Amino acid sequence: MNVVVASHTSFDCDLPEWLHKCLITKSDNDSSDAGIICRAFEFAYKLHAGQVRKSGEPYICHPVAVAGLLRDLGGNGAMIAAGFLHDIVEDTDITIEQIEQIFNPEVRQLVEGVTKLSKFNFSSKTESQAENIRRMFLAMVQDIRVIVVKLADRLHNMRTLEHLADEKRRRIAQETRDIFAPLAHRLGIGRFKWELEDLAFKYLEPESYRQMQDLVAEKRGDRETRLAKVTEVLKARLEQAGIEYSDISGRPKHLYGIYQKMQRQQKEFREIYDLAAIRIVVQTNEECYRALAIVHDEFKPIPGRFKDYIGLPKPNHYQSLHTAVVGFTGRPVELQIRTIEMHHIAEYGIAAHWKYKEKGSNYNQMAPGEEKFTWLRQLVEGQNDLKDAQEYLESVKDNLFADDVYVFTPKGDVIALNPGATTIDFAYRIHTEVGNRCCGARINERMVTLDTKLKNGDIVEIITHKNSHPSLDWLNFARTSAAKNRIRQWYKRSHRDENIARGRDMLEKEMGKTGFESLLKSEPMTQIAQKCNYHSVEDLLAAVGYGEVTLNLVLNRWREVFKAQQSVNNTEIITLPTTSTRVPLPPKRISESPIAGVEGLLYHLAGCCSPIPGEAIIGVVTLRNRGISIHRQGCQNVESVEGDRLVPVSWNPVDSNKGRPQTYPIDVQIEAIDRVGVLKDILSRLSDYSINVRNANVKTANGQPAIIDLGLDLRDRLQLEQVFVQIKKMSDILNIRRVGQVEE
Ligand code: MN
């Protein structure tokens, strides 16, 4: 092997400078870090000889790059050696015992850990999922550096991903986004996380990635000029105050971060990227706060944006002061203020300890007392008690991926979704067509409604039907913008006629049938459409129909047009230019108050106890000029109110000759035996009594009664009592109660 070293100029790959130096200066049989590193390289070089990567490069380039990444992170000799050797056991006849003989137990442990890890296929069958992850965490707990070696391996593979076939590229990129980038995040290794995310972005959404790249390049000059001005001022002020800064600069934002923010906050590129960001690195904690004082003295701080992660570090140990101020051009500038050590922790996470703590500290094994990564320990503690794979998966995923929801397809592929995502988000994530044809879903083999929120570890199966299509109310519970956009798109495209008809119906209901058709064709109607930013009345109707514009907005515009016409004609009745039909008046407000005692006063029914006619009520003068709030007597919220704010009120008798009686919203909760169809039975019973159900929500849990929340519109107490009697009669019903803060 020494022969190889002596003739190092003959290596068929470019060696990085550090390795080159190491090879020249090392002495034989050296057990120092440098010695181990050199021997590991030579060993790997020999064994990988003749192997070629997909890129055409000699295989050795890959372990060399991985070792380099680990060196940059501050890894010791054993870690860097593991970087060289990580593919040896897998690809050659060398055994793990031989590695221990040639090197030492530490190197063996790392190489063994990484070799085991590479056998995991994180998108494999469901049954093996729990086992895979369990083994991964076991490996991590034995030596967390194993994961760091694996992350370096993955990072270099991602950097060279372009050489693989398209299919494989996507799979690896998805796995990187789902598993490895979150892992890097949890270990606090920011620089790995950002690069992994950007590379996954590049291969998973190439179109958007290129777009972001172009946008960033286009705006760079402009942004840098603005930043330079602010940094110049701050530099002068810091120097004046005698604060020694080691760095003050605009900080680059990574592409996927910008993209995610745009998606999450539904904002334009300009709004996100123009948020110039500056980082100030100083020497001590105290200087961080002093620098902050200077920043806030020089520029106006934006309220609500200051965060003290020094006093309250993030779970992955990230520390910094965050604030945002108004810059010179009136645009916001974000600032991070931190010490050098904090900066290293932000970049290197757990590895920062290796890089910057004194030499000889024990990196091996996690010392249970001092190790701060408690989340990891929690994952492994008690894992033997959790025999149920599903249960284990749930606990693991809740811990590791707290930021996202991770669920599985029936085939065991991992899908990451935003917190709060529902089955419909899942369906659209699988494929647009799966979303569009979705008609039901099973979670963990139970039928669920489409608005069911997903939990970590759920196995989700989407049921499709060729005649199914999206429904507008999906927009109420879709969480991801991707799903929302696709639902809207589908509606816009394929349902214009239906939307127009729906919009027409909705408007007709509000405005009355008389003269409606001619109103639609009238000049004022065109004006209304234009006021709502639509070219034609048809466009407006379509927009009303699929919910892009609210009925209220149209009615408000209509009143404006109506009033304008009125002042011109100075008459109650407008004669339309084309017809002589009378324009229906805007819908009337409730003509007569149903409540006695509040004449001429603004009042509203309290949401906490939802009073209905037939019940004893009491008025409360609200503190913020919102008039009188009507509560049920006995409502807990009234108990603490001083006597001088109480107003005696009562229900006026209902005049049954006056058309449709008014109804009041009431929430009830039903406990029922969890059986398919129980909700349907309840709803059909209510509809027999012509009771409108505003909303219905069912919660089920294994072996527990189903909890059904219903929002009903009821006339009065009598009708409410009827509902109770009817529901209680049903066989599967355990209990029904009214929701509200009243002791009954
Ligand atoms: Mn590798």
Q: How far is the CA of 158 from the centre of ligand 1 (A)?
A: 11
Residue type, position 224, single letter: E
Cα torsion 371, 372, 373, 375: sign: positive
Task: Report whether pLDDT(191) > 90.
Answer: no
CA 127 to centroid of ligand 1, rounded, Å: 26
CA 12 to ligand 1 center in whole angstroms: 19
Ligand 1 centre distance from Cα of residue 84 (Å): 9
Reported as a single tens digit per residue, the pLDDT across 325-353 is 988 877 788 899 999 888 888 887 767 76
Interatomic CA distance for residues 192 and 200, integer angstroms: 12
The predicted-structure confidence for 14-37, as pLDDT tens digits, reads as follows 788 888 888 887 666 666 788 889
Instruction: Return the structure tokens found at 738.
Output: 């009214």
Q: How far does the centroid of ligand 1 lie from the alpha carbon of residue 59, in Å?
A: 10
pLDDT in tens, 351-363: 776 655 544 334 3
Which class for 339: exposed (0-12), middle (13-18), buried (19 or more C-beta within 10 A)? buried
Q: What distance in angstroms lies between residue 4's CA and the mean position of ligand 1's atoms?
A: 23
**What's 163's DSSP letter?**
G
Report the relative pairing of strands 276-282 and 245-250 from DSSP bridges: antiparallel
| 585 or 704: which leads in pLDDT | 704
Q: What is the Å distance from ligand 1's center to 67 Cα? A: 10
| DSSP structure string for 558-607 | HHHHHHHHHHHHTSSSPPPSS--PPPPPPPPPPSS-SEET-TTS-EEE-T
Does domain 664-738 fall under CATH 3.30.70.260? My reply is: yes
**SS3 state of residue 739:** coil
Ligand 1 centroid, distance to 63 Cα (angstroms): 7
Kindly list the distances between the CA atom of residue 12 and the CA atoms of 4, 18, 63, 302, 489, in Å, as whole numbers in the listed order. Answer: 11, 17, 14, 57, 54
List where CATH 1.10.3210.10 sits in the chain: 17-204
Is a pLDDT exceeding 60 seen at residue 379? Answer: no
Q: How far is the CA of 322 from the centre of ligand 1 (A)?
A: 38
Residues 6+ apart with CB under 8 A from 487: 428, 435, 470, 472, 474, 475, 478
- Residue intervals of the chain classified under CATH 3.30.70.260 are 664-738
Note the pTM of the prediction, 2 decimals: 0.50
Q: Could you give the residue range(s) of every CATH 3.10.20.30 domain in the chain?
A: 371-494
Q: How close is the Cα of 153 to the center of ligand 1, in Å?
A: 5
Q: Which of 105-119, 581-595, 633-647 has the lowest mean pLDDT?
A: 581-595
91 catalytic? Reply is yes
pLDDT band at 411 (very low <50, low <70, confident <90, very high): confident
Q: Is the pLDDT of residue 289 over 90?
A: yes
**What are the tokens at 167?**
């299919």
Are the C-beta atoms of residues 121 and 136 closer than 8 Å to each other? no
Structure tokens at 373: 């990564």
Ligand 1 midpoint to CA 353 (Å): 25
**What is the three-state SS of 308-341?**
ECCCCCCCCCCCCEEEEEECCCCCEEEEEEEEHH
Average predicted confidence (pLDDT) for the chain:
79
The active-site residue, picked from 12, 14, 28, 90, is: 90
Task: Specify the DSSP element, H or E, that contains 708.
Answer: strand 706-714
**Residue 201 predicted with pLDDT over 90:** yes
Residue 365: DSSP 8-state? S
Amino acid at 681: D
Q: Which of 12, 14, 28, 91 is an active site residue? A: 91
Lowest model confidence (mean pLDDT) among 51-55, 152-156, 598-602, 737-741: 598-602
**How does strand 595-596 pair with strand 446-448?**
unpaired
Tell me the CATH number for domain 17-204: 1.10.3210.10
Structure tokens that stand for 308 in this block: 């003290």
Give the mean pLDDT of 425-432: 90
CATH 2.60.40.10, domain 371-494, yes or no: no
Active site residue 224: no
- What's the fold here for domain 213-354? Beta Polymerase; domain 2 (3.30.460)
For residues 647-673, give the mean pLDDT: 79
Stronger pLDDT, 97 or 12, i.e. the higher one: 97
Q: What digits encode the pLDDT tens for the residues 227-253?
A: 888 899 999 999 999 998 887 877 767
